[in-house]
Amino acid sequence: MAERTSKAELRQLARKHLWPCFSPLSETGSYPVIVSGDGCYVFDDDGKRYLDGLAGLFLTNVGHGRKELADAAYEQANKLHFFPLWTFAHPSAIELAAKLASLAPGDLNRVFFGSGGGDAVETAWKLVKQYFRAMGQPGRYKVISRNIAYHGTTLGALAITGVPEIRDRYAPLAPGAFHARNTHAYLQKEQGEELAEVCANDIERIILEEGPETVAAVFLEPVQNAGGCLVPPPTYFQRVREICDRHGVLLVSDETICAFGRLGHMFACNRYGYQPDIITCAKGLTSGYAPLGAAIVSDRLAEPFVDSDETFMHGITYSGHPIGCAIALANIEVLECENLPGRVLQYEDAFRSELETLYDLKFVGDIRGAGYFYGIELVKDSATHERFTEAERNHLLGGILSPRTFELGLICRTEDKAEPVIQLSPPLIAGPEEFREIVRILRQAITEAQEIMG
């Protein structure tokens, strides 16, 4: 093996050449360099250990360092490292498509592969447009998602994304995307089924305002990540499904984060009891051992393309990449053999209870989520519900909590796409011991922040 680049050189090279995501280039040389992983932990180039409380980026569901997955990649690369799904097929993509069809609810039986979540969302939007054209309703091209929801950054997916600070500087985006009220419940007037009603009705409002004959689909995450794990209030998805059906609109469940056990089910729509027309997924599909995404499509939507001249004019070189598919099959085998979705259901109450011990802290306003997917919303004073100013927020998250939790050995996410939140999404192999470690570090960091900020 060639001699590896030294630590100092790596930082210098990063400063000069690397362009990381959503990050100021000026800081590139100071980012931590993570070199290995094992179970729920990762290690930096000083050998320091961190609890990976975010599962990489909401995806290392089976944990780091899984030999089964590395072996699957090695075997596949030796046998057939690549061949396109453009008028060819190969066993791992066929087998994975069949496996996903067997796991997905209802008649979601047809799988289009891509390389991540954003392109799965793009695929879904293009597909619903073409479906409606083929069905003689070419006017249906608009889509509705929710405020603050993140669905990807390519120009189509970005239009569906509802985060102004990510979208606005890239206007004009793909036309036809609208954003409805999300289900953020903390400190809202409406709660429970009443909240479900007003949020679902807001989707219907847009459909009616735009004209149902122009609306193709609604894109929703089972639990909305951005904004801090916005859970659906009871009956929300049933109401949305009814509204979609009433107006002939399709429902896309964007499960880029929520699928493959994160919420205790292979597909999170099962947790909330609704049947989507398409599931988009990625991340936990391979636990991040290779890039892979998929749009899992209902027989009904695929029907106009079956036994007809109608072709989906869409493709990605790496669609169904053999190594990604082989890894996904091995990953799903681990999820099933170790019953990791079941483990999440077994331990989710313990996770929540452990997190809820933080409620005695003044800055901890709301703890919400499901399965192994939680957000902690921070306020200046949980008794009075006073919120932080923008400057305070930036200081709290960027100046204190983010560096301090990392220093204390926890990788989590602090974000303020809406109110400030700490986000947690540990590997599904985590249990009570890791929950205690997460909470111990958060308690220390938040307590220090309270002291610093008065």
Which range binds ligand PMP by CB under 6 A, 4-12, 72-80, 249-257, 410-418?
249-257
**Closest separation between CB of residue 454 and ligand PMP, Å?**
35
CA distances from 174 to 122, 126, 154, 210, 415 (A): 11, 11, 10, 16, 26
Q: DSSP state, 175?
A: S
Work out which of 37, 53, 63, 118 binds ligand PMP, going by CB under 6 A: 118
- Count residues binding ligand PMP (CB under 6 A): 13
Work out which of 123, 130, 235, 256 binds ligand PMP, going by CB under 6 A: 256
Which residues within the stretch 28-47 sit at the binding site for ligand PMP (CB under 6 A)? none
Work out which of 52, 221, 354, 434 binds ligand PMP, going by CB under 6 A: 221
- Verify binding: residue 100, ligand PMP, rule CB under 6 A: no
**Closest separation between CB of residue 287 and ligand PMP, Å?**
14
**Closest separation between CB of residue 55 and ligand PMP, Å?**
12
- Verify binding: residue 254, ligand PMP, rule CB under 6 A: yes
Nearer to ligand PMP, 256 or 388 (CB): 256
> Which residue's CB atom is positioned nearest to ligand PMP?
117
Q: DSSP state, 224?
A: B
Nearer to ligand PMP, 121 or 364 (CB): 121
Compute the distance between CA of residue 200 and CA of residue 42 in angstroms, rounded to an integer.
41
Compute the distance between CA of residue 201 and CA of residue 110 in angstroms, rounded to an integer.
31
- Verify binding: residue 54, ligand PMP, rule CB under 6 A: no
- Verify binding: residue 415, ligand PMP, rule CB under 6 A: no
CB 258 within 8 A of CB 222: yes
Which range binds ligand PMP by CB under 6 A, 116-124, 192-200, 357-365, 369-377?
116-124
Nearer to ligand PMP, 118 or 371 (CB): 118
- Verify binding: residue 227, ligand PMP, rule CB under 6 A: no
Residues with Cβ within 8 Å of residue 54, at least 6 apart in sequence: 411, 412, 413, 423, 424, 425, 426
- Verify binding: residue 423, ligand PMP, rule CB under 6 A: no
Q: DSSP state, 59?
A: T
Tokens standing for residue 75: 């075997």
Query: For strand 373-378 and strand 364-370, is the pairing parallel, antiparallel, or unpaired?
Result: antiparallel
- Verify binding: residue 130, ligand PMP, rule CB under 6 A: no
Work out which of 53, 56, 63, 116 binds ligand PMP, going by CB under 6 A: 116
What are residue 271's phi and psi, to 5 degrees? -65, -40
Work out which of 37, 117, 233, 369 binds ligand PMP, going by CB under 6 A: 117
What are residue 216's phi and psi, to 5 degrees? -95, -45
- Verify binding: residue 379, ligand PMP, rule CB under 6 A: no
Compute the distance between CA of residue 449 and CA of residue 187 in angstroms, rounded to an integer.
23
Please name the residue that has the structure tokens 């091209």.
141
Compute the distance between CA of residue 368 and CA of residue 233 in angstroms, rounded to an integer.
12
Nearer to ligand PMP, 183 or 364 (CB): 183
Nearer to ligand PMP, 76 or 423 (CB): 423
What are residue 348's phi and psi, to 5 degrees? -65, -35
**Closest separation between CB of residue 116 and ligand PMP, Å?**
3
Interior/surface letters 206-242, b for 16+ CB within 10 angstroms, e for the rest: bbeeeebeebbbbbbbbbbbbbbbbbbbebbbebbbe
The three-class DSSP label of residue 297 is strand
Interior/surface letters 292-311, b for 16+ CB within 10 angstroms, e for the rest: bbbbbbbeebbbbbeeeeee
Which residues within the stretch 263-292 sit at the binding site for ligand PMP (CB under 6 A)? 282
Binding mask 145-164 for ligand PMP (x = CB under 6 A): -----xxx------------
**Closest separation between CB of residue 283 and ligand PMP, Å?**
7
Contact footprint for ligand PMP (CB under 6 A): 116-118, 121, 150-152, 221, 225, 254, 256-257, 282
